[in-house]
Amino acid sequence: METVLDINITRVENSKLNDLNLENIPFGKYFSDHMLEAEYENGEWKNIEIKPYQPLIIQPSLAALHYGQSIFEGIKAYKDTNGEGYIFRPYDNFLRFNLSAERMCMPTVPEEIFMDGMKQLVAIDKNWIPFREDHSMYIRPLMFATDVLLGVRPSDTYKFMIILSPSGPYYTTPMKIYVEEKYTRSVKGGAGFSKNAGNYATSMIAAKEAREKGYDQVLWTDAIEHKWLQEVGMMNVMFIIDGVAVTPELSEGTILNGVTRNSVIVMLQEMGIEVQERRLNIDEVVEAYKKGLLQEVFGTGTAATIAPIQELGYGDLRMPFDVSSFKIATALRKQFDDIRYSRIPDTHGWMVKV
């Protein structure tokens, strides 16, 4: 393994893996033996360590707890049939992580700490990568403010960490999604493009109310008219309308620039399917549905992968779909899985060996 970063490594004496069966595990519940930690102080990153996964000791006045300077990423690692470990498009997540950092007035993390640190950590815990369909090792890089002070200002100190969670699928059945018109996730000039903890905190009430109505998640709309579609809680959204793939555009900065979204766009174009990244109004979607032109709806995300949507709810209107007829989502999912599980050549250079 090629590495350039000098990391202080302390290994566990006994692996917890001996007590865990990696088959049929839920998403995000178990954590591997080791974690990476680095500290930012006086304008520089230092004390880069890989050490046994353990609790943090924090003060109640920790800035991140009060004012929310806290960001994260989600990435997945897989194993091939030879037992080699690969990470899916980590560099794209590295770039997005630092965009989130800048938006939240946090320092950026150098590429060698993020990338080499991640590769070294995953290599050390390679045995924790599940080798099973729909399973992977979910990699969670995070950064948070560590000043102990109640004044509202960007913290001077931060912690960057990476933890690893061998995981099964996030969603096990096709989803029911409610078009959200009451709450707002994101507005132009806001922080919708960044993966900051607060975006998830403010989204929970909408998801909770949607669940009370019988749905799994919401589809966010714009803050002004509640008509222009943004993204689904925890994933981007894609519609196949009369053979064309349509997905909300990134340019307003209100949605996440999803790595899976981008991978799907590339795969669709290679399949010869037209892709339109543009403003998309719920009225257009309803009209297409009523005319029988709305053929497929699915979400794309690291945790969710490519997730078919079996029902869209908009006010009192329920729009059910027969997901077994979703030819494009099914083909995309197959190709995506074949790449991630190394069953076909990785022609895009998406799989990074650890």
Written in H, E and C, the secondary structure of the chain is: CCCCCCCEECCCCCCHHHHCCCCCCCCCCCCCCEEEEEEEECCEEEEEEEEECCCCCCCCCEHHHHHCCEEECCEEEEECCCCCEEEECHHHHHHHHHHHHHHCCCCCCCHHHHHHHHHHHHHHCHHHCCCCCCCEEEEEEEEEECCECCCCCCCCCEEEEEEEEEECCCCCCCEEEEECCCCCCCCCCCCCCCCEHHHHHHHHHHHHHHHHCCCCEEEEECCCCCCEEEEECCEEEEEEECCEEEEECCCCCCCCCCHHHHHHHHHHHHCCCCEEEECCEHHHHHHHHHCCCEEEEEEEECCCEEEEEEEEEECCEEEECCHHHCHHHHHHHHHHHHHHCCCCCCCCCCEEEC
The least distance separating ligand COI from the CB of residue 25, rounded to whole angstroms, comes to 15
Exposed (0-12), middle (13-18) or buried (19+): which is 199, by Cβ within 10 Å? buried
CB of 158 to ligand COI, least distance (A): 20
Task: Work out how close the CB of 303 gets to ligand COI at its nearest, in angstroms, rounded to a whole number.
Answer: 3
Report the alpha-carbon distance of residue 312 to residue 183 in Å, rounded: 17
Q: How far is the CB of 302 from ligand COI (least distance, A)?
A: 3
| Residue whose CB is less far from ligand COI, 258 or 289 | 258
By beta-carbon proximity to ligand COI, the closer residue of 32 and 295 is 32
Neighbour count for residue 78 (Cβ, 10 Å)? 21
The vertex-19 CA angle with 135 and 15, nearest 5°, equals 90
Q: Of 179 and 234, which has the nearer Cβ to ligand COI?
A: 234
Contact 335, 267 (CB under 8 A): yes
Minimum distance from residue 234 beta carbon to ligand COI (Å): 4
Give the residue with the Cβ less far from ligand COI, 194 or 302.
Answer: 302
The CB-of-206 to ligand COI minimum distance in angstroms stands at: 15
Rank residues 295 and 302 by Cβ distance to ligand COI and give the closer one.
Answer: 302
**Cα(221)–Cα(212) distance, rounded to whole angstroms?**
19
The residue number whose beta carbon is nearest to ligand COI equals: 74
| Residue 6, CA distances (Å) to 38, 158, 277, 279 in order | 12, 19, 42, 46
**Minimum CB distance to ligand COI smaller for 124 or for 234:** 234
Q: Is 74 or 313 the residue whose CB approaches ligand COI more closely? A: 74
Give me the residues that bind ligand COI (CB under 6 A), please.
Answer: 74, 234, 301-303
Q: Which is nearer to ligand COI, 100 or 302 (CB)?
A: 302
CB of 93 to ligand COI, least distance (A): 9
Which residue's CB is nearer to ligand COI, number 206 or number 319? 206
Q: How far is the CB of 274 from ligand COI (least distance, A)?
A: 26
Residue 107 or 301: the one with the smaller Cβ distance to ligand COI is: 301
